[in-house]
Amino acid sequence: MPAREFLMIPGPTPVPDAVLSAIARHPIGHRTVDFSKALREVVDELKLLGESTGDLFVLTSSGTGAMEAAIANTVSPGDAVLSLVQGVFSERWAKITEAYGGKVQRLTVDPGKAIDASAVKDVLKADTAKKIRAVTITHNETSTGVLNDLEKIAAAVAAHGAVSIVDAVSSFGACPVSIDKWGVDILVTGSQKALMLPPGLAFVFVNSCGWEAQSHCTSPRFYFDFAKYKKSLDADTTPFTPNVSLVAGLKASLDLIRQEGTQAVFARHERLKSILRAGLVELGLTLFVTDANASPTITAVLPPEGLTVDSIRKALKSKYSIVVADGQESLKGKIFRIGHMGNVFERDILMTLAALKAVLTELGHKC
């Protein structure tokens, strides 16, 4: 009997049994009092987790759908948008914006590096005509494992007056995100990362500056139209048939987060990151990101000289049923990425390190 595949990838992530059980229950009708109650509960709980008193919409889509929603509701053709680019997912913001006719100015740093808030401030200060309407920000760049200082970046954007649009897909629920206090205008996240669900739901927080931008936006939208979600949520429902099973699962996963305690969840992610990074260094491997910018949810590492990423990933999968991720696009084959978000514990990190040590040794690396 092969061991069940263990996902040490940046989503889907391991799903707790209580969540799987909730999802396995027969779906309820979405136009019922019971569903409205469940929806209201998860919305309120997510707002607590994101420290937001604004709006929070539940979309039936993947995280990219929520990113498109953010752009389609705020960026009109011709709008100038500053995109902070440092990898695949931050570049995705730029691509979606361009698909909607936005004029994108990229502030690019090398993959593996963090965005410097003062550089953002400088670019925005130079925009004395206030042409930049929005700034796209990636809190945690999943393709490299870099966590940016969102608080400082959002403050720089707020000082300028542009709308801050944040991808927190792989950070939300794993580390503090303080939407109101940091002045974040729009923030999106997804179900299949630290929220410990299968993929299929995405979430968009919208604060008052986000609504202001939305009110002027001429881009076409229907399924992702914030106004429709707002009208429906005011009646404790959704404009279109939602994934009711995942909403039930979300209720279960948010219960688990509340039981552990939000601060304890964040501390656990910090601890896992530190244990993993120390262990990888001990194996003689080179980390792709400095300690100061290291993500609490995903760690990228270079293969030892002479070994390929492919051979390491294949051996981990075939011998230990542990799945780690390859690099993406230009980093494919150059790094591998170990996810440690959500339903992951110390023992899983120790297991992964031990399996990696065995694999590397067998492949000829001297650990």
Query: Judged by CB, which is closer to a copy of itself: 284, or 333?
Result: 333
**Contact flag: residue 24 with a copy of itself (CB under 8 A):** yes
**Contact flag: residue 60 with a copy of itself (CB under 8 A):** yes
Provide the pairing of β-strand 80-85 with 103-108: parallel
Query: Judged by CB, which is closer to a copy of itself: 23, or 355?
Result: 23
* Distance between CA atoms of residues 69 and 47, nearest Å: 19
**Contact flag: residue 245 with a copy of itself (CB under 8 A):** yes
- Burial grade of 362 (CB within 10 A; 0-12, 13-18, 19 or more): exposed
Amino acid at the residue 279: G
**Contact flag: residue 23 with a copy of itself (CB under 8 A):** yes
Single out the residue of 27, 161, 261, 364 in contact with a copy of itself (rule: CB under 8 A): 27
Distance, C-alpha 27 to centroid of its chain: 27
For 262-318, the DSSP string reads HHHHHHHHHHHHHHHHHHHHHTTPEESS-GGGB-SSEEEEEPPTT--HHHHHHHHHH
Single out the residue of 38, 244, 252, 257 in contact with a copy of itself (rule: CB under 8 A): 244
Torsion of CA 61, 67, 73, 74, to 10 degrees: 180
**Contact flag: residue 68 with a copy of itself (CB under 8 A):** yes
Amino acid at the residue 299: T
Q: Which residue, 243, 297, 336, 224, is CA-closest to 11?
A: 297
CB of 205 to a copy of itself, least distance (A): 18
* Phi and psi torsions of 299, nearest 5°: -125, 125
Single out the residue of 30, 47, 133, 268 in contact with a copy of itself (rule: CB under 8 A): 30
Residues 72-101 that bind a copy of itself (CB under 8 A): 72, 95-96, 99-101
| 245 Cβ neighbours under 8 A, 6+ residues apart | 23, 25, 27
Total number of residues that touch a copy of itself (CB under 8 A): 56
Fill in the per-residue mask, 206 to 235: x = in contact with a copy of itself (CB under 8 A), - = not in contact: -------------xxxxx-x----------
Single out the residue of 36, 41, 48, 62 in contact with a copy of itself (rule: CB under 8 A): 62
- Which residues contribute to the site for a copy of itself (CB under 8 A)? 4-5, 7, 9, 11-12, 14-15, 20-21, 23-32, 34, 60-65, 67-68, 71-72, 95-96, 99-101, 190, 192, 198-200, 219-223, 225, 240-246, 323, 325
